[in-house]
Amino acid sequence: MASASPSDLTSQGYAGGIEIPGWDLFYKGKVRDLYRHPNHPEHMMMVATDRLSAFDVVMAETIPDRGRVLTHITEFWLQEFADWMPAARETCDPAAIPDLPAEFHDALRGRVTWTRVADRVNVEVVLRAYLAGSGFREYSKTGRLWDHALPEGLQNSSQLPEVLHTPTTKAEVDEPISWNEAIALIGSENEAAQIHKLALRIFNQASERAAAKGVVLADTKFEFGRLDGRLVLIDEVMTPDSSRYWPKDQIEAGKEPPSFDKEIVRSFLRTITEWDKTPPPPSIPEDVIAQTRERYLDICEILTGSLPVSVSR
């Protein structure tokens, strides 16, 4: 991997994968790069890149400032719940990260998170208030939402009778599991019940906040970990990558509302019938990239009231 100078990192569309002296880039995910430093074995540094994935394939193009939006929204929600829901995250200020060379501070500001390494709960908590995506596809086939019986006659984007928990495995490709299977993976019925209760409280509080801004939180997913004998939130929290946000005044049962995420990219890719959803991906036109960026900036401003540091339209 070639090293990059800090000046290379300040351009729009940060693809990540850079070498930082003294740091080990030990994991490169679809969107995030994870680093560790030998002086701090109980911590890691998470960098949100601008990489774009669709249908589990990373595109060649980036969405400029997307990583900063994801970090900004996560930090906003963590602050909202900070008085009762702890997180593994310690700081998003690169200057406060020990042993991070100063010449990288400006380039990584807004997209870096310094976090304690938690014992991850190997179940992804998925909460749904509306029928959409894989949930709608499951209902269309079975009349159920996995473990949950549902009324007949629901349509795409119909509101569910209550917020439902549909856990999945935490793997490269997440698979739905029953609640009993989730309890077995968590390892404790009491802890599983606590996770369920906390997740619902977070979801309901966030839904009220979003609704006041004219936005519906249709569904989301959380990850929990364990630190010092307590449950903490880890990774991203209710970003447009992990959640489905809809404009409240544009929801119509039977139709998929416009969402504040990368659905514009997915819609474009569905028009390319010769692509089999495996690498290499097709090229994404500039106008699709620009529209997608605007959707990320829109939901960021709506939810938090601001844009991330160093980001402008």
Q: Which residue ranges make up each domain of the chain?
A: 1-117+262-306, 120-260
Residue for token pair 């991203």 = 236
Could you say which DSSP state residue 42 is in? T
The CA distance from 29 to 232, in Å, is 22
What is the average pLDDT across 265-281? 95
What is the average pLDDT across 100-128? 96
Decide yes or no: CATH 3.30.200.20 for domain 1-117+262-306: yes
Task: Kindly report the average pLDDT of the chain as a whole number.
Answer: 94
| Per-residue pLDDT at 193 exceeds 60 | yes
| Per-residue pLDDT at 110 exceeds 50 | yes
Burial class (CB in 10 A: 0-12, 13-18, 19+), 276: exposed
Specify the pairing of strand 144-145 against strand 123-130: unpaired
Burial class (CB in 10 A: 0-12, 13-18, 19+), 209: middle
What is the average pLDDT across 153-162? 97
Burial class (CB in 10 A: 0-12, 13-18, 19+), 216: buried
Buried b (16+ CB within 10 A) or exposed e, 83-104: eebebbbeebebeebeebeeeb
| Per-residue pLDDT at 5 exceeds 70 | no
pLDDT of residue 12: 65
Cα 28–chain centre separation:
15
The CA distance from 195 to 225, in Å, is 10
Within this chain, domains 1-117+262-306 and 120-260 share the same CATH topology: no
Sign, Cα dihedral of 149, 237, 170, 225: negative
| Per-residue pLDDT at 222 exceeds 50 | yes
- Least confident residue range of 9-13, 34-38, 42-46, 213-217: 9-13
What is the average pLDDT across 49-58? 94
Task: Give the percent of the chain with pLDDT over 70.
Answer: 96
Decide yes or no: CATH 3.40.50.300 for domain 120-260: no
| Per-residue pLDDT at 226 exceeds 80 | yes
Sign, Cα dihedral of 312, 13, 301, 70: negative
Query: Which residue, among 87, 73, 137, 104, has the nearest Cα to 6 in the 3D structure?
Result: 104
| Per-residue pLDDT at 111 exceeds 70 | yes
pLDDT of residue 108: 95
pTM as predicted:
0.94
pLDDT of residue 11: 46
The CA distance from 32 to 30, in Å, is 6
| Per-residue pLDDT at 176 exceeds 50 | yes
The CA distance from 211 to 241, in Å, is 19
Task: Give the percent of the chain with pLDDT over 90.
Answer: 91
Contact 131, 141 (CB under 8 A): no
